[in-house]
Amino acid sequence: MLRDAALVAGKDLRIELRSRVGLNQVGPFAIAVLLLFGLALGPDRAVLAPASAGLFWVAVLLSTLLAVQRSYAIESADAARDGLRLSGLDPAGIFLGKAGAVAAQLLVLEVALTIGVALLYGAHLSGAVVLVAACVTGTVGLAAVGTLYGVVASGLRTRETLLPLLFLPVVAPVLLGATKAWNEALAGTPGRAGTWLDVLVVFAVLYIAIGTVAFGPLLEDG
Amino acid sequence: MSAPRGKTQLGTSALALRVLGVVAVAGVVATVWLGLFVTPPDEFMGNLVRLLYVHPPMAWVAFLAFGVASLSSVLYLWPRTRAEHFDRLAGASAEVGLVFTGLTLVSGSIWGRPTWGAWWVWDPLLTTTALLFVLYLGYVALRRVPGEFHVRARRSAIAALIAFVDVPVVYFSVEWWRSLHQAPTVLNPTTHKTYVHGSMAWTLLLGFVSFTLVYIWLVAHRYRLAEMQDREDDEGLEVALAERRAEASV
């Protein structure tokens, strides 16, 4: 299963490296979102800095939608999805591979966004361990739910509009937990982020478990 | 030529269902009458207490409906109990649940404005209910996407479970989110129930019973409608073809 996951993740990341859609489109989109938040809230750093954790994670959530849609767009051309089904790979492995590739791309994006909030909003980066831990656990949860709903929506004609409606309410705990963990870290009290990291871990484990079980039937149906 | 008859089903004209509908509506009317005219105003809340005869029953029906939808989704996914009626029941119950969640939010908001001074407060229960509303809006939207019956049913059932598993995570995270901020000093409608007695308790009980009956009645109708829609999908073209051929041969 893990070998299959590595194969699928390698394939997705290789396509990404060659096509550079993430680099050329998803990344700039996230930066644009950061700039627009700045415009919406005004130039006052006393307002922007405390809000930077929340704005960072909303930008990540929106970017996840694009990353997931892209992850399934590459399967829709040339009946690649049928090829994936015929490949004999373990569906749980395919799920983990696709989610892993999405998570890897998002983590790279989050590095850029972190620099963005530090520069644009004047967020004082502290508590690096908590920041990174929240990014990793939160992103794994987002990628798991995104990949799961992505396969639900991927075969449908209304996938572009349906995916956000399905995805965003479910990941509310990630937004909440990751934002709170970041707030504690940025406020210089990373020790109080423990509960929130727990929420992120529970969420990620829960949806990875559901995904490994449910992905097979969903892939077959599409 | 009439449509070919399928297996015998509970029609919406069945006597039991009609009786249920009449009793349910009469119960709601009686609840409103008792709540507005018979019961006394509350010592602390005054006339506002009258909203509490309908608000908790609405919330109860909403949670009951989502519980039924989740249970039927599990039963549909479980190979031994897989049957079309569990899918229809899940869909019907979720839709009725959405209506009652909406009513719960609106009635709660109307009650909250004079009590808390705001239409909305970020209380854990309210926030969870609002997120639940959007979660199941997504589920119902997914159900409406056309497709082959079993494909659609399986995908909907899995989506229902993804949403259902989220509910406790949402609730606890939202609760921690608030409790770490500040203890919301709000009047909790659930603790207030311990003080109701006499005609007020009876009215509240009647509210619970009659709203539950309304739920069953609505789900039965929605279920029947879904069944007819499925049959129309299956047989509609055949019947139309047969009718046209019969016209031509006259």
The parent domain of residue A199 ranges over: 2-221
Model pLDDT, residue B182:
42
Q: What is the 3-state secondary structure (H, E, C) of B83-138?
A: CHHHHHHHHHHHHHHHHHHHHHHHHHHHHHHHHHCCCCCCCHHHHHHHHHHHHHHH
- Amino acid code (one letter) for A120: L
Q: Which two tokens stand for residue A6?
A: 């590595």
By C-alpha distance, which of B95, B75, B98, B70 is closest to B86? B75
Which residue of A lies nearest to B181 if distances are taken between CA atoms?
A180
The parent domain of residue B200 ranges over: 15-184+196-231
Which residue of B lies nearest to A210 if distances are taken between CA atoms?
B162
Model pLDDT, residue B9:
54
Q: How far apart are CA B180 and CA B177, in angstroms?
A: 6
Number of folded domains in chain B? 1
Residue B247 lies in a domain: no
CA B241 to chain centre: 38
Residue B205 lies in a domain: yes
Number of folded domains in chain A? 1
Model pLDDT, residue B12:
63
Q: For A156, which of B145, B162, B170 is closest by C-beta distance?
A: B145
3-state SS of chain A: helix, strand, coil percent to 5? 90, 0, 10
Would the CB atoms of B145 and A202 count as touching at under 8 Å? no
Model pLDDT, residue B214:
95
Would the CB atoms of A206 and B169 count as touching at under 8 Å? yes
DSSP 8-state assignment for residue B5: P
Over residues A154-211, the pLDDT tens digits come to 878 888 889 999 999 999 999 999 999 999 999 888 888 888 999 999 999 999 999 9
Model pLDDT, residue B195:
52
B240 vs A: CB within 8 A: no
Residues in chain A where the model's pLDDT stays below 70: 222
B141 vs A: CB within 8 A: yes
Contact status, residue B239 vs residue B3, Cβ threshold 8 Å: yes
pLDDT by position in tens, chain B (length 250)? 334 444 445 566 678 888 999 999 999 999 988 888 888 887 777 777 788 888 989 999 999 999 999 999 999 998 888 888 999 999 999 999 999 999 999 998 888 888 888 888 888 888 889 999 999 999 999 999 888 888 889 999 999 998 888 888 888 888 877 765 444 444 455 554 445 567 788 888 899 999 999 999 999 999 999 988 888 888 888 888 888 888 887 6
Contact status, residue B207 vs residue B34, Cβ threshold 8 Å: no
Q: How far apart are CA B108 and CA B119, in angstroms?
A: 8
DSSP letter string over B11-22? -TT-HHHHHHHH
Question: Which of B76, B148, B169 has the most A C-beta neighbours within 10 Å, making it the best mutation to test the interface with A?
Answer: B169
pTM, 2 dp: 0.85
